[in-house]
Structure formats: C-alpha cells, structure tokens
Amino acid sequence: AEKPSLRRFYPNFLTLDFVPFENLQATAEYWVPESHAAAGRVTLTNKSAAARQIQVEACAVLIPLEGQPIVPTQQQLVNILAGQTGGIAPVLFMTGGPAHGDGVYPSLSLNLELGPGAARQIVFAEAALDTVAASFELARRAAARPWDAERARIELLNASQILDIRTGDLDWDAALAFSQTAALGLFFDSESLPHPSFVTSRRSEHGFSRKGDGADYPPSWSGQTPLDAYYLSSVLQGAPQTAKNLILNFLFTQDEDGEVDGKPGAAGQRGRALAAPLLASLTWKYYQSSGDEAFLAEVFPKLLKFFWSWFSSAHDRNRDGVPEWDNILQSGFDDNPLFDVWHPWSQGLEISLAHSPSLEAMLYREAKSIEKIARKLGKPEEETVLVAAQAEILAASLQSAWNPNQSFYSYRDRDTKKVSEGKIIARRRGNGALRPKAEFETGVRLLVEIQTKNPAAARPQVEISEFFSKSKGEAETIEGSQFQWRAGGLVAATRKLFTRVGRVGVTGLDEKDRIVVKLVDTSGEDLTLALPLWAQAAGEQQANALIGRNMMTAERFDRPFGLPSLPVSPAPEADSVSMGVSLPWNLLIGEGLLAYGFRAEAARLTARLMNAVIQNLKQNRSFYQRYHAESGAGIGERNSLQGLAPVGLFMQALGVTILSPRKVRLEGKNLFPWAVTIKYKGLTVARGFEQTVVSFPNGESVIVKEETPCVAEMES
C-alpha cells in the first residue's frame, strides 16, 4: 500500500518502514552482528479497528554447484531450513514456532492473529558455519540478542563517527551520508597490523580465500596504499582517529633503514615497494583536526627516517637529490600511458628512468610537513635543516619541470633532465642490422619495441652502437632479460644516452616480428603533473597560469563531471582511461585550488564530482572506482573507496573544519546554492550565505559574519 522508506542505515544495520496492506504498518530491521550471521526483525502493527489474520513467510534459496539446496528440516525439534555448499551449512531460523511453508520456495511460515491496535515481532536469522548444528546454534543466538540495546549502541557509535550534513538537496545529503557509512564498512580487525585495516571495495563475492590465508585476494583486498588512506581519512571527517590508526599501521612495517611498505594488508600482505611519501602530510592533517601533540612526538622520528629513505641510492639512482618512482603501482596512476604495459597505446617506459613531478611534489610537501611538526614540538633547528635544504633541491627540480608554453609541469628524463619527444629512427622485420645514421645535439635515451602477435615469442638480444662498426664508439647490448612484456609485444629502454646511432643489430626474432627503435617520449601529460599545486610548490603566477589554462579550461581538464586523468586521449580505445575521473586525485588538486585561494573553483569541482556520484547511485545503486568526465558513467570496480563522495573536499570548499565538538574553524563564505547544516556530537554548524551560527553542546552559540579565517570555541 505504501512503498518502503529507509529510516536508519549504518554499516551493519538498516531499518525500513513500509505498509504491505492497508492499515498494516511494518518495520523491518536488518542486522549483521558478525561475519557468519545475518538477522532480521519484523514488527507488524494492526492500525485497523478489526482483527486481522496475517501470514508471515521467510523463504530461502540456495543453488549450490556442489552440496545440497535448502530443504525443510528440524534441529532440536525446531523447524528450520538448511543446505550445504562450499564446506558450509547455511541455516535459516525464525522465532515463534514456525511451520514449514508449502509454497514454491522452501520457507518458514507463521500465521498471526492481530487484534485492533495489536503489534507482533518476528525475528529471523541466517548463519553459516561448518555443520548444520553449529549454524543452528549461531542463528539462534543471533536472534536472541537484545536488539534494542544493540541498536542503541550502534547508533551512538555511528553518531560519534559520522557528520550529519544537511544541504538544500536531498540527493547530496544521501550521497554524503551513504559514503561515510560505506567507508566505515570497509574496515576489518587485523592480526597482522596493530589497528583495523581496510579494503577498497566490499561486495558479497569478496572475502572468501580458497587458500585460507588471503594470499589469493583480489587487489582491492590485498592492502592499503597511502593515497587510499589519505582519501579514506578525508571521507571520514567525523572519525579522525582512523587517520591516526592508518598512519600507525604503515609505520608498523618500517624497517631499520626507515623504509615503510607501500601496501600492508589485513591478512599480512605486503606491497614490497616503498610507500608513496604522503605519511607526514597525513600526520600533519590529522594533527590540525585533533590537536594530538603526543602523537606528533611519537611518530616524528619515524617520519623523518621514512623521508630520508626515499633519498637512498635504491630510489635516487643517480644521486642528484631527486628520487624516482620504483614502479608504476607506487604512483597512484596505474594506467599512465607513459609507463604502463597493459594497453597497446601505452609506451611502457620503465618509470624509474623518469623524473616525476608527482613524486617530487609529494616529497616537497613531506619536507614542509616535517618542518611544521618539528616547530610544533620545539625541535632544535639542526634536526630539520637538512630537510629544508632537501626541499629546496626538490623545488628547484620542479621549477625545471615547468613548461611555460603549456603552463604545466612535465616529465623529464632521469639523467638528461630534459623533456624528449618520441621519434622513430629505425625499424625492420626479423633479425639483422639497421643503419639509422641518427645524430642528436644532446644525449637521448632510446626505446626498443618488439611488435609480435606470438604470445610465446622469445626475448631477443639488441645491440645499439654509435657507429656502424662495432669497434668504434659507445655501444649497449640489451639482453632478453631486460625486455618486459607489454600489450602487442616487448619493450626495453637503453641505460646509456646516445648522441648518435650508427647501427642497431638484433638477433632472436621471428621473421614476422618487427623491431622499432625510437626516442623515449616524456612529453605526455596527465593530472598528476598538477600535484605541485597541492604541495604549494608553485609560485603564485605559475599557479594562476596552471589553473587558468589547464584546470579551468574545457579543452584541457575542465569537464562536466570532474578532472579527467588525461587532457587528450592517446587513442579512441583509451577513452575509459583518459576520461576517467579519479576522486582521490581530484581531492588533491581540489585542495591545491583552495591553497591558492580558488575557493569558487574548488566548490564547482566538488559539485561536478557529486553529480557523477549521485547519477550512479540513482541509476546503478552503486559507487564506482572512477567516473567518465564527459558522461558521468561509472568505470571500474563497483562500490569502491575511490568512488565515494568527496566529503572532505566538500567541507573544505564550504570553509568548515570541525576540530572537536567544542571548536570549529571557519573561513571564506558559503559558495554553494543552499544553506548547509552540520551536526556532530551535539555541535551544530548552520552555514548560511551571510553568516554562520555555531551552537555548542552546552547550549552556547556564536554568530560569525567575517570571511577571514577564525576559530569559534566553546567557552566553558
């Protein structure tokens, strides 16, 4: 008679109200009390003046590949439904002494008589352990738990971790609330880490490990990266403790050389690559919202050691003070067409051969965050003087990466420090020698591509010489082991730099295979190259030009649903990558816009990202790993952390930072089209267009009309 409405939703609890028949009010509650059980409670209230006969039926369906479908059976003289599949025995139990139903599906059935105004509750539970008996006991215990007390506990916990944000748009309110709830649902306790860890996507097909130890988990369950942790902490604005715990999880993996693992997982997984340098930045951000100075003192020595680990010879290969990424997975942009090997339109250059502005910007901001932490702790200047000097080296490198013609930053060769554009100098089929006769003003790095359709092709040997005669000039031999597989063949880059190429000899090719020798191309552009904005490493004029000519230009990055990964697609089939909007990277660039005073542009970016999220929630009932910049369509994994609504960016663009229930930082003005009210632990912030009213838990209130940054704090 009336469709269901969602009344409560938490990570493991839902409440729905509906009216199945006229004057019969129903409330259905669904609860997951633990990993192996799910329970429900239905409350029926007869709102009519006459007695009513109501039949309630709980059905179960199981179609196992091996095992036994759900069948009616008994356990301890109680009617239940049970089955067998995959080594577990699912059992459905219901209170009230149900009979086995006689419908199409196996069911438990109750016939109820409800007098005028009478109400009745029925509880059911499903559990799945190794045996029917064990599952029955767990289901019965789950049904017998004190629902009202448990729900009250869940509500209190939720209120302490969630910002209740009310805008003038119900879709925004729902997306912001759903995102915070979904983010909390990504956490798991871990025996391998000191604090709960998280996965980046959680769906019904996830979680089961055939090996039993999680070693076969998909990438979304194989650990947490610093960029994921940064974005998750931004979504969970009401739970700053999560950021602290995630930082401690990373530092738990630190070795004696200061290196921190880049992807520690709840099941003991390790990424086996150095973590992206975001930990000091995340620590300082956590401190700004918590004031936890003891935590700063605890982690400062570890953060300092981690910072310097990036400048060892393992990561700064030519010892110029500017490190390189070790592999593409560290960088947070796995599909970068300059470096990835999974797409036929990608170059496949080894990422350690290039200087990346994204890494330099992260390290620069790490250095500045370490300096801020040291000043807050009153550390002597000699502890950070080298950090400050290193920051200047990074700033100089970023300055040399600035392209004034494009008002953008560029990748550069690791050793020449220059941008190079791809140019083919030789090609042929099969084995033999090529005579390019190519000369260059400065040394260049060469890329050797082997194009083959044979998936079992042997890895060739390629010799490149300055002169046609092997006895003259410099030469380099690329062994078969140096080639890496890529879509359509193999690829390798020279370690030497050449000012001329007189001969290229190749052996080990099939006669149908083709070899192509060309200059490495580092001229490609992507969104990560704008990260100096976030690091505040760009000068004011550079920032204004970068934002005006790139971030806010439709022909470049300014698209209807956010900033895409690439301004120009390298191939038609690359559309889902080039136009993919990554919310974690959009968050970083959005914070960069705010850092340089572009608040209106940050608010507009937030609105575009929210439109993409809302469109997919409405159409597909799901968040997505990325969103298409032009159409807003979801791309990649469903219900992914990377696709949750940008709660943190919204709060920053709004100019509201909740430091505690007693203290709020305000700046700027509300540039969104409606007044916004935020509630948190008894605190209420009503942000209008002309003024902001802050009401504290003790009843005090303050009205703020100024746009200059200020802190409103409860007096008593």
- The tokens 């605890």 sit on which residue? 298
CA separation for the pair 318, 327 (Å, rounded): 17
pLDDT at residue number 213: 83
DSSP string covering 635-660, please? EEEETBGGGS--HHHHHHHHTEEEEE
pLDDT at residue number 644: 98
Q: Are 522 and 419 in contact (CB under 8 A)?
A: yes
pLDDT, block means (10 residues), the chain with 716 residues: 92 96 96 95 96 95 93 95 94 96 94 95 97 97 95 93 96 97 94 94 88 87 96 96 97 97 93 97 95 96 98 96 96 95 92 98 98 95 92 97 96 95 92 90 94 80 87 86 90 95 92 93 96 97 97 96 96 93 98 97 98 97 97 96 98 96 95 97 96 95 94 88
Distances (CA, A) of 608 to 103, 530, 558, 639: 49, 19, 10, 19
Q: Are 637 and 226 in contact (CB under 8 A)?
A: no
Q: Are 521 and 347 in contact (CB under 8 A)?
A: yes
- How is residue 150 written in tokens? 């448990």
pLDDT at residue number 471: 66
pLDDT at residue number 243: 96
CA separation for the pair 652, 592 (Å, rounded): 11
pLDDT at residue number 473: 78
DSSP-derived letter for residue 168 is S
Measured distance between the N- and C-terminal CA atoms of the chain, rounded to whole angstroms? 52
pLDDT at residue number 205: 85
Determine the residue type at 286. Answer: Y
**From start to end of 386-453, where are the E strands?**
402-403, 408-409, 412-413, 424-429, 432-434, 438-444, 446-451
Residue 214, phi-psi category: left (phi > 0), alpha (psi -120 to 50), beta (remainder): left
Q: Are 410 and 357 in contact (CB under 8 A)?
A: yes
pLDDT at residue number 468: 81
pTM of the predicted model over 0.85: yes
Count of beta carbons in the 10 Å neighbourhood of residue 301: 11
